[in-house]
Structure 1
Amino acid sequence: AYNELQRLADNNPGDVRYPIMIGDLLLENGDTAGALSSYEAAHEIDPTSPYYPVSMANYYEAVGDRAAAENQIRTALVDRELDVETKMGILARYLRQLHQTPDAMMTADTLFRTLLAQHPEEPSLKRYYAGLLMMQNKTEEARYQYQLVTEMEPDNEEAWQQLLVIAIQANDTKEAMRICQKCRQMFPESPVYFFYLGVLYYEEKAYQKALDAYREGLEKIPEENVHMRSDFYG
């Protein structure tokens, strides 16, 4: 693999990906000095490469310098020359390398906050951050982020569904019903909200309303979708 990558790097001297990949391979095999040399070569080719900060962060992790690793990513996140999509890609690639330890989750939280401070009006970033908060069982903080997303993008169905899940898990029947009522108006062809509304009405002993919700939801489901229809009948 190394020889093939080196051949590709020699034939494509302006392509930053190959020295990065060589460095990653060397790092994986424990050759930290060789990896660093490859990363530095990549940086000379393209100082703005979004792959470089992640690989350097992995290098610093490998040599036991967590602070330098975090600083490498944080520097990229505050770089005004990079757009938010590139920054999110950098952060996502780095986070995939971290194990889900308390320290790693704290690192992820800090880095997300850094990026949020740079791009406070980016709803997709808030949604990703909410997902991280859910992983940490910080439900109320996650709810707040999802609510911000629905205010910025009222038709973001994924955010509404997450708010519904949070309300149901918290046994907040009133809020769950409010979300279902809102969503069945905004997403009238989606049967899932009629299903949950039926369940909630049934738990409140409002049996006729539950039956009406189930029937209305069934009308949204194609006959061939046997699995979903069975959920309603179940």
Structure 2
Amino acid sequence: MLIHIKKILPYILIICFAGGSMLLPVDGIAQKADRKNKNKHRQENTALFLEANSNKLLGKLKKAKDLFLECLVLDPEDAASMYELARIERIQNNSDLALEWSEKAVQYGPENVWYLKLLSDLYQENMQFDKSIEVINKMVALYPGNLEYLYDLALTHLLVGNYQKSIQTYNRIEEMIGVTEEISIQKQKIWLRLDNPAEAIREVEALCLAWPGESRYKAILAELYLANDMDEKALETYLAIAEQDPENAYIQISLSDYYRKRGDTEKSFEHLKLGFSNPFLDIDTKIQILLAYFTVKEYYDEQKVEATELANILISTHPDDARAYSIQADLYYQNEEWEPARESLRKVLRLDPSRYIIWEQLLFTESNLSDFEGMRDDSRKTIELFPQQALPYLFAAVASYQFEDHEQMIKDLETGIRFVVRNDLLLAEFYNYLGDAYHQVGEDEKTFEAYDASLKINSENSIVLNNYAYYLSLRGEQMDRAKKMAKKATELDPENSSNQDTYGWVLYMMGEYEEALEWIGLSLENHNEENAEVLEHYGDALYKLGREKEARNYWKRALKAGKGGSDLLEKKADKGILYE
């Protein structure tokens, strides 16, 4: 019997070690099976999570969302999938769902800083700042040395008006990293918001002590002193900056401002000149200061000498910067000093010919100077550089008119008018000059069409009304209309001698000699010098009224006056007879 048992025992041992569970209790068998099941689910969940993330990275958000939800079916406590679902909902602007998933992620992963950070951000986006602060405090408790979380906490306290707590948090950061500009200036602003300038000043004073070589902080401190009526301390600080950093670009401007506020204009201007003489002070700042002289006319009228001096210093300090000459030109233009303005504008264009507005200003200046040769040449250069700008063509046409090049005038006007965009007044001027040009080449029908187009846009243009009426009267056509237009021109511009002469001439052509003589006489009175055309017209009216001797005297005066009379003037003066 023993022999039999010995033979059977090895087989029992083999079965026990091979099967294992055959000799385990029932609950042990169940745990083994559950462990296997969990391992299987974990593997499936990991695979699904990776697939979901791949879809998210590819922008397939719906597919990714479905896969993350499947992950939660396999593992309802999968915080990572909840976190990713929150991020997807945030991308899709579903703020409520994003917040819900984010809160669940933190519930199952309460110490995961990524989950906490997202939840904090979502609370802020939903204006739930108090809850955001609670979450950030947890992050700070978990990672007390993390500066980013402390900065977030300080800023969020600031957003909700917890100013003291914000300052306390900034103090905590300062204990870790020392005094810095960013924190000191932020605390200074908070103290000012709390209406506590003394603490604001102390913050900047501490910053200056920590960084004694940084004059910029002293300048901030001086401004604070000045704003709080601590003038002596402000001046002391400004002078310390000037001594420490004599090439400081802004100190002279600050001192100028200081003395200006105290009413010491002489010292203020002296420091302003020193500031303008400093090549390290950028030209943009200097230009902004100079532009202040243009904003209030009364101030400019009082300070134009100082403005001119500063503009000259600007040029000597920045001789290669076109903007310096541009400012100088503006000053001359403001003073109606056209010749120096023209020279300054030409210097601007030599340094920088790309600025269309300067070319335009130059053409206006040449117009004010009646410099038609310059206008002709510069308008051509402007057209070459800016062929789609309309105004240079008009200036070119005006110059051509002065040189009696009427064909070129018409060419420029017909080209330029195509580039007039959304500017009715400019368009009316083009038609006005086209009418004049067509008349000079004998195309009267085109003349009247152009004048009609101009008056359709601006019926109150006395120059067009005057010329239109005069040219109609020369042809003896539409005399009633000519009379109305000429009369309206005198009403619009009653002191204009040319309008008075035209109205008188239209009346003359209509046989109303007494009234004609009166209006032409007014024109003679208002002319600054003898005008051959008006003198001849006056003589003609006198002759029609039977005053032949007086008429001949006026014809002779017209001859002496020079150009402007008719081809028959010499014959009339010689014979004393009216020829028409």
Same fold (TM over 0.5): yes
Q: Is 2:301 aligned against 1:101?
A: yes
TM-score after normalising by structure 2? 0.33
Inter-partner Cα distance in structure 2 for 1:27 and 1:138: 40
Residue 219 of structure 1 and its aligned partner are, at CA, apart by: 3.5
Q: Is the Cα–Cα contact under 8 Å of residues 342 and 366 in structure 2 kept in the other structure?
A: no
**1:62 is matched with which residue?**
261
Q: Is the Cα–Cα contact under 8 Å of residues 50 and 90 in structure 1 kept in the other structure?
A: no
- Correspondence list, 1:24-39, <5 A: 32-33=231-232, 35-37=234-236, 39=238
CA deviations 1:139-191 (Å, max 9, x no partner) are 21111111122233333323221110111223333332322122111221222
Q: Is the Cα–Cα contact under 8 Å of residues 54 and 94 in structure 1 kept in the other structure?
A: no
- Correspondence list, 1:148-227, <5 A: 148-199=347-398, 201=400, 208-220=407-419, 225=421, 227=422
- Name the SS of the counterpart of 2:370 in structure 1: coil
Inter-partner Cα distance in structure 2 for 1:31 and 1:138: 45
Residue 124 of structure 1 and its aligned partner are, at CA, apart by: 1.9
Gaps of 5+ in 1: none
- Name the SS of the counterpart of 1:142 in structure 2: helix
Q: Is the Cα–Cα contact under 8 Å of residues 73 and 91 in structure 1 kept in the other structure?
A: no
Q: Select between 148-157 and 45-54 the one with higher mean Cα deviation.
A: 45-54
Report the AA paired with residue 359 of structure 2: W
Report the AA paired with residue 114 of structure 1: I
CA deviations 1:6-62 (Å, max 9, x no partner) are 378479656866765675576578664354356457668966553332221022223
Inter-partner Cα distance in structure 2 for 1:158 and 1:231: 16
Gaps of 5+ in 2: 1-188, 294-298, 429-453, 455-580
Inter-partner Cα distance in structure 1 for 2:266 and 2:322: 29
Q: CA RMSD in A?
A: 3.8
Q: Is the Cα–Cα contact under 8 Å of residues 195 and 232 in structure 1 kept in the other structure?
A: no
- Correspondence list, 1:43-62, <5 A: 48-62=247-261
Q: Select between 43-52 and 126-135 the one with higher mean Cα deviation.
A: 43-52
Report the AA paired with residue 228 of structure 1: N
**1:141 is matched with which residue?**
340
Q: Is the Cα–Cα contact under 8 Å of residues 214 and 232 in structure 1 kept in the other structure?
A: no
**1:116 is matched with which residue?**
315
Inter-partner Cα distance in structure 2 for 1:28 and 1:143: 44
- Name the SS of the counterpart of 1:140 in structure 2: helix
Change over 3 Å in CA distance of 1:52–1:45 after alignment to 2: same
Q: Is 2:291 aligned against 1:91?
A: no
Q: Is the Cα–Cα contact under 8 Å of residues 389 and 419 in structure 2 kept in the other structure?
A: yes
| Equivalent residues, number | 225
Change over 3 Å in CA distance of 1:194–1:108 after alignment to 2: same
Residue 63 of structure 1 and its aligned partner are, at CA, apart by: 2.9
Inter-partner Cα distance in structure 2 for 1:28 and 1:106: 30
Inter-partner Cα distance in structure 2 for 1:230 and 1:100: 31
Q: Is the Cα–Cα contact under 8 Å of residues 204 and 220 in structure 2 kept in the other structure?
A: no
Inter-partner Cα distance in structure 2 for 1:122 and 1:47: 24
**1:78 is matched with which residue?**
277
Inter-partner Cα distance in structure 2 for 1:198 and 1:11: 69
Report the AA paired with residue 135 of structure 1: Q
Report the AA paired with residue 70 of structure 1: F
Residue 125 of structure 1 and its aligned partner are, at CA, apart by: 0.9
Report the AA paired with residue 194 of structure 1: Y
Inter-partner Cα distance in structure 1 for 2:288 and 2:409: 45
- Name the SS of the counterpart of 2:320 in structure 1: coil
Alignment partner of 1:3 out of 192, 208, 213: 192
Report the AA paired with residue 117 of structure 1: S
- Name the SS of the counterpart of 1:184 in structure 2: helix
Inter-partner Cα distance in structure 1 for 2:346 and 2:333: 14
The structure number with the bigger radius of gyration is: 2
Inter-partner Cα distance in structure 2 for 1:34 and 1:10: 12
Change over 3 Å in CA distance of 1:209–1:97 after alignment to 2: closer
Q: Is the Cα–Cα contact under 8 Å of residues 77 and 87 in structure 1 kept in the other structure?
A: no
TM-score after normalising by structure 1? 0.72
Report the AA paired with residue 192 of structure 2: N
CA deviations 1:121-144 (Å, max 9, x no partner) are 332211111112222332211111
